[in-house]
Amino acid sequence: QTIGGAVATATHGSSMRYGSLSSQVVEIAAVLANGTLATFSAASDPHLFKAFGVSAGRLGIIVKLKMTIIPQQAISRSKQDLTLARFADQVTATQEAYKAAKAAKDNLAVQKALFSVHETQALWLVERDTLWRVDYQHLFKEPEEVLENLNFSMDPTMHSFSGPNDQTVFAQATKAPLRANAAMTTNPAYWGVVYSAGAQTYVRPGTFETRKAYMSVTEATTRISTTLAPYIQMEVAIPLEIAGTCLKEVNKVVYGRGSQVSRDFRNPALIRFVSGEPFYLSPTHGGPRMYVNIEDWLTLSGTPNKGYDQVLKTFRGPKCQGRLHWGKGGWPEYASCFDGATEYPDSWCHFGCAVQTLDPYAKFEGVGADRTAVWTWNATRNGTVVPFDTCCTDTGFSPECTCASRTDCHA
């Protein structure tokens, strides 16, 4: 994945302050459908910047980004061993505190509620009903532990807080697609042990520099895991207002009386929390959300994954209202006849107007029969259907019009 692709799909960590990677962007340069190079910023064109900030490749090709960064610092990582049910209780407490603060219009209380999951990450070992919650504390002084990997023949600051050294850089070779792996479809307990052992290093308590403190898959782990079996990765973003309630519903599906759903999972699910963003297609447009990343390791090895399917449908259903990540799987099987006006009611048609401006002839719409399965816009004015482009202005979708749902199918 390129950094441009990461921004286009709102790639994220876990932060109630910094949002996704898109929120770190201050300027975007892109090649448009007409072949010209254009630059967008919040100051120069707020409307098109909010469209390009998370564009899923629909508006053009991002070729250059100007981004803010923060310096490396010492961060302490702590870990709680929980079950999904116990974690759901914790998230529900945050959910209710957040809702009460919003209802009271108490900004300080809102901030306090959000801070309780700021930077919180969790690895959910589905097969074992074990969940590791990880939280972080920023330290103003650098404990000796942060330099534990120091090579004393090198400058401490350069070694401890700069990027990877030359030994970790390698040429990315093209590989043949992985074949199905029948071993992956059996013995969930074995795979549960394998993956939990491998994940321990990411949650080990201690004090580290920023780039090592937060959970992120290393290149070495990626190179190993991508040789095991083909898999499908999907991610959903659930409104914080119902995040705890959603997890309790999922807990019933996975661990309820007689359920065998947990046996259909292999590696840990990853749970993170991200603040709201102004970008039209950001999954957190409209307010903070809880992201849940889960993977299907069975289907591509020849075994239909009924348990995974049940969990995804729960996340996409009315009790969770999860939005799909733009850069991962699930399209179109979990977004059949996608209705953007329903899923993004306050921003979908603003993005549609950006499409009218930057790609009126649909060069970046895609190809094949499914090219319009997502990119469809409708509008009404005073209850009457009107051509969509008549509702577009230089600042987005006109308030005189209504962003209308699809009528050709049901989402």
What is the C-alpha separation between 21 and 133, in angstroms, rounded? 22
Q: State the DSSP code for 50.
A: H
Q: How far is CA 192 from CA 108, 127, 130, 269, in A?
A: 42, 6, 10, 12
Top-confidence range, 80-94, 158-172, 189-203:
80-94
> Residue ranges of the domains in the chain?
3-67, 74-148+178-324, 340-404
How is domain 74-148+178-324 classified at the CATH fold level?
Alpha-Beta Plaits (3.30.70)
Phi-psi region of 56 (alpha: psi -120 to 50; beta: other; left: phi over 0): left
Weakest-pLDDT range from 52-61, 157-166, 351-360: 157-166
What is the C-alpha separation between 95 and 319, in angstroms, rounded? 14
Q: How confident is the model at residue 410 (pLDDT cuts 50, 70, 90)?
A: low
Residue whose entry in the numeric block shows the structure tokens 């995804």: 312
List pLDDT tens digits, range 103-132. Answer: 999 999 999 999 999 999 999 999 999 999
On the question of pLDDT at 44 being above 90, the answer is yes
Whether omega for the bond prior to residue 332 falls within 30 degrees of 0, making it cis, is yes
Weakest-pLDDT range from 147-151, 157-161, 187-191: 147-151
Going 201 to 207 to 210 to 211, the CA torsion angle's sign is negative
Task: Give 30's strand partners.
Answer: 38, 62
Look up residue 194 and give its amino acid: V
Residue 372, pLDDT score: 65
**135 contact partners, CB below 8 Å, separation of at least 6:** 77, 78, 80, 119, 120
What is the C-alpha separation between 291 and 287, in angstroms, rounded? 13
Task: Give 100's strand partners.
Answer: none
Mean pLDDT, the chain, rounded, equals 90
**Helix (H), strand (E) at residue 81:** strand 74-82
What is the C-alpha separation between 30 and 16, in angstroms, rounded? 28
Looking at per-residue pLDDT, the higher value among 352 and 199 belongs to 352
Token code pair at residue 153: 């023949």
- Three-state secondary structure call for residue 109: helix
Beta-strand (E) ranges in 282-364?
289-296, 323-324
Top-confidence range, 214-218, 331-335, 339-343:
339-343
CB 30 within 8 A of CB 37: yes
What is the C-alpha separation between 300 and 46, in angstroms, rounded? 42
Weakest-pLDDT range from 21-30, 51-60, 89-98, 138-147: 138-147
CATH 3.30.479.30 for domain 3-67, yes or no, is no
Beta-strand (E) ranges in 174-288?
206-209, 232-239, 269-274
What is the C-alpha separation between 403 and 342, in angstroms, rounded? 9
Mean of the pLDDT values across residues 312-316? 98
What is the C-alpha separation between 163 and 161, in angstroms, rounded? 7
What is the C-alpha separation between 61 and 405, in angstroms, rounded? 28
Q: How far is CA 325 from CA 8, 9, 126, 255, 322, in A?
A: 11, 7, 21, 25, 9
Residue 394, pLDDT score: 97
CB 270 within 8 A of CB 293: yes
**231 contact partners, CB below 8 Å, separation of at least 6:** 295, 296, 297, 300
What is the C-alpha separation between 239 and 109, in angstroms, rounded? 18
Long-range contacts of 285-288 (CB under 8 A, 24+ apart): 285/344, 285/346, 285/347, 286/239, 286/344, 286/346, 286/347, 287/239, 287/240, 287/241, 288/16, 288/98, 288/114, 288/239, 288/240
On the question of pLDDT at 77 being above 60, the answer is yes
Token code pair at residue 14: 């876990």
**404 contact partners, CB below 8 Å, separation of at least 6:** 341, 378, 379, 380, 385
Residue 46, pLDDT score: 98
88: number of CA atoms within 13 Å, CB side?
16
Give me the sheet containing 378-381, strands edge to edge.
Answer: 384-386, 378-381, 402-404
